[in-house]
Structure 1
Amino acid sequence: MKKLLPLLSMALLFGKAHAQLTPFEQSTDKNTTATYAEVMAHYPKLVKQFPQQVKLFNYGSTDAGKPLTLVVLSKDGNFDPTKIKQQNKRVILINNGIHPGEPEGIDASMMLVRDMLKKKQLPNDVVVCFIALYNIDGSLNRGQSRVSQNGPRAYGFRGNYRNLDLNRDFIKADSRNALAFLQILNTWQPEVFLDNHASNGSDYQYVMTLIETQKDKQHPILAEYTAKTLSPKLYKRMEKSGYEMIPYVESLKRSPDSGIVAFLETPRFSTGHTVQHNIISYVTETHMLKPYDKKVYATYEFMHHLIDVCQRDAKQIGELKHKADEQVTQQKTFALTWALDEQKFNNITFKGYEAGYKNSDISGLPRLYYDRAKPWTKTIKYYNTYKATLTADKPVAYVVPQAWGKIIDLFKLNKVAMKRLKHDTTLNVQTYYITDYKTVPRPYEGHYLHSGVQLNVVNNNKIKFYEGDYVVYTNQPINRYIVETLEPQAVDSFFAWNFFDSMLSQKEHYSDYVFEDIAAQYLKAHPELQQKLDKEKERNPQLAKSAGAQLEFVYKNSPFYENTYLRYPVARLLTDTKLDLQ
């Protein structure tokens, strides 16, 4: 018997090694998440066991100096993105650990990849790509900073090495992490995208909530399939798995009783950016106060069901994506800003906890709390209708001066087709002059965001462009990205994120005592301007009282005034002009 015990122990150890348990599974209380080193040790072992079905790819270098690792599962062993498209297979891209304090997806994916390989459950018509851990920088900064959360025991920090929230970085791409993500996204061109998160906010009974691309912002063809087929199926399957879902809880007022509002993911967010590529997109949001093991298993189940349903509907999803791309290529008008329509809502069943107020032990003043001893089920309002508050008609093409190098680099990463002028060329274009805008008083993610942009539109403006400047035609499936970044009034445009701030400052002016004589001579030579000045003084008594203001009026209405001041540098070509292009 004594001889058998070591053999039995060895057999048990061999079984565990073969199963390759994750740090989460090995912990007795299931309240542990893998470190970055443990994640990076896990997947190469799977590649050794299943070299034909799983492969690792490294992209770029994150701000922490480490590459972004993509884990790819392919049943037939084809890991060439171009050939995968030729085979008419779908691609699902799953992102994990964008906020390392919300690591459920990291642990769930480690288990799911292993189980799909071990149980031979890889789909026939779907290639699944997992970003093993996106915010490597934050993951290395391990601690307990997310204080309102119930587990895991230790986890990474929300900000990356540059203290950026990476889920606000997709459109501006300040981090190397985002640049690597864009390379992955545009290399593998997924039809479906998932970003795994954990929520904060109200308390309620659900472990899992879900953000799906807001229906009014998604392409109508994809929105109909998502709303009527894919999402309902996922909700039913999750309920059957023991993890009943509800839409992400963003309360209209203080608590869910007042109704909940569909989240509007603008392009700064991962799914707001992927929708510009006509990709069906989801965000899982497990509840912060539920035990960590339930959050991990709920995320595991959701990914499993998503992959399964996408396998079932692989052909249909491919056809819908193709149709959406075709229609966006021809689309004329694009929404730039959105607002919630509070007059429209659906009634949904919601399971919450009674909210109330009691005196704070700290301040003695009333504080909000939820009483888990008093669960309730009520019908509440779900506000899921947004209306476009501002739109723009696309031009035939945008002309982007090569000086704006970051824009050109981002367009290249996003597979935007561009041509270049062969020679210096003067073009008759439509230009914008910025007449007003608002700027936040404090920086947000490293930027002073602009909003409320007002424009003076000038048609038939003759502007000189130089050899090598870029012409971006708007006959592409990526039109939404092009228009929403280059139209300065769009909520997450490049203008909003300060890409063009240098054109907001004046470079030339005058010495008043010198310009007095020049202005007087100019008014004598141009009596029509003298008449214009006189009329303006009659209309505006303050102008009549100010010598400096009158001198400035003459300057601004003369050819001496710099015509590039406040002129938005990206021009709009409104006619299909024959150009000499590289």
Structure 2
Amino acid sequence: MTKIYWDSQVPSDWTGDHSDELRTVPEESSFTRTASHIETLEFISKLAWRSEYIHIERLFISDLRRISPLVILSNPRVTTPEEAKETGKPIVYLQGNIHPPEAEGKESLLILMRDIATGDKRHYLDDMIILVAPDFNPDGTETWEVKNTSTFSGTPHIQSLRHNAVDADVNRDGIKMETVNMKGLYMNVLNKWDPVMTLDLHSMGRVQHGYCNLYAPSYTPTGNPGPREYTQHTVLPWIREHGEKQFGAMYYTHADFDWEKWPPEVWDPV
């Protein structure tokens, strides 16, 4: 059984298993720092030079003229939605850093892309095409603020800003689509590539829930209830069960906990 180490199980000196050239900023810094927007672009460029499975597009240009990249991972490599459709493979969209202080998603996506493009996860592309937007709010990423985070173990005192350059919470703009971020998502991902599944990554660092990770389905009542209910009652419970059985990692529903199993044994509360 492959083991996922989390919380108090993680070795204190662990910095990843890849060469120095392909280590992420957290791995290089013993997980004390996360990547800037420029460092994110540089890392993607390193992967693109080393892999035949990567195509890069522009998702949008931010209010402060920063490019948010969209990385398409496919075997064989595709460069258009038409080519993707011809493969018959489902398209999955993964998104990080809509809230830049919650940088865990962005960093996880960089590691995932590395493991697919140059590592042992290449077989994922046998069954799907993966679109990745690791830094969905580059202006927030590059705007820093000092926060009193002393109560939360391991959280940097200097972190990126939650909102974008026009002080909008992009995660609240899914209906009106007033931000360039969300317009880019609809125009250049949803309407163009038509993914069958999307995953938007966040962090619950402000809540000491004790789990390896939390998840949540779509909560909108206006969408088709079939996919929403299938995700909530079939897919996510399966992930929770098999995550613990196969990897020893405990997952649970956002803003809730398992009354019978909580707290997890490896939880190390502050």
The TM tier, using the shorter chain, reads: 0.7 to 0.9
The structure richer in strand per residue is 1
| Counterpart residue number, 1:169 | 173
| Counterpart residue number, 1:25 | 27
| Counterpart residue number, 1:203 | 208
CA RMSD of aligned residues (A): 2.7
Q: Distance in 1 between matches of 2:100 and 2:145?
A: 10
Aligned amino acid, residue 192 of structure 2 = T
Partners of 1:97 and 1:103 within 8 A in 2: yes
| Counterpart residue number, 2:141 | 139
Partners of 1:63 and 1:162 within 8 A in 2: yes
| CA displacement, residues 453-495 of structure 1 (integer Å, 9 cap, x when unaligned) | xxxxxxxxxxxxxxxxxxxxxxxxxxxxxxxxxxxxxxxxxxx
Q: 5+ residue gaps in structure 1?
A: 1-14, 251-255, 257-346, 354-370, 374-582
Aligned amino acid, residue 38 of structure 1 = E
| Counterpart residue number, 1:181 | 185
| CA displacement, residues 284-313 of structure 1 (integer Å, 9 cap, x when unaligned) | xxxxxxxxxxxxxxxxxxxxxxxxxxxxxx
| Counterpart residue number, 1:241 | 247
Q: Does 1:45 align with 2:46?
A: yes
Higher RCO (CA 8 Å, separation ≥ 6 residues): 2
Q: How does 1:389-468 map to 2 (within 5 A)?
A: none
* Percentage of pairs with the same residue: 23
Q: Which moved more, 1:143-152 or 1:162-171?
A: 143-152
| Counterpart residue number, 1:232 | 237
| Counterpart residue number, 2:130 | 128
Q: Distance in 2 between matches of 1:224 and 1:143?
A: 39
Q: Residue 205 of structure 1 aligns to a residue in which SS?
A: coil
- Give, in angstroms, the shift of residue 40 of structure 1: 0.7
Normalising by structure 2, we get a TM-score of 0.80
Aligned amino acid, residue 159 of structure 2 = Y
Larger CA Rg, structure 1 vs 2: 1
Normalising by structure 1, we get a TM-score of 0.39
The list of structure 1 runs, each at least 4 consecutive aligned residues, that deviate by more than 6 angstroms after superposition, is: none
Partners of 1:246 and 1:350 within 8 A in 2: no
- Give, in angstroms, the shift of residue 241 of structure 1: 2.1
Q: Distance in 1 between matches of 2:229 and 2:204?
A: 26
- Give, in angstroms, the shift of residue 98 of structure 1: 0.6
- Give, in angstroms, the shift of residue 177 of structure 1: 1.5
| CA displacement, residues 273-293 of structure 1 (integer Å, 9 cap, x when unaligned) | xxxxxxxxxxxxxxxxxxxxx
Q: Does 1:159 align with 2:160?
A: no
| Counterpart residue number, 2:117 | 117
State the aligned residue count: 244
Q: Residue 173 of structure 1 aligns to a residue in which SS?
A: coil
Q: Distance in 2 between matches of 1:57 and 1:231?
A: 30
CA spacing shift, 1:166–1:207, aligned 2, 3 Å: same
CA spacing shift, 1:171–1:221, aligned 2, 3 Å: closer
Q: Distance in 1 between matches of 2:173 and 2:215?
A: 21
Q: Residue 175 of structure 2 aligns to a residue in which SS?
A: coil
| Counterpart residue number, 2:85 | 85
Q: 5+ residue gaps in structure 2?
A: 1-17
CA spacing shift, 1:189–1:174, aligned 2, 3 Å: same
| CA displacement, residues 406-429 of structure 1 (integer Å, 9 cap, x when unaligned) | xxxxxxxxxxxxxxxxxxxxxxxx
- Give, in angstroms, the shift of residue 226 of structure 1: 2.2
Q: Residue 197 of structure 1 aligns to a residue in which SS?
A: coil
Q: Which moved more, 1:110-119 or 1:226-235?
A: 226-235
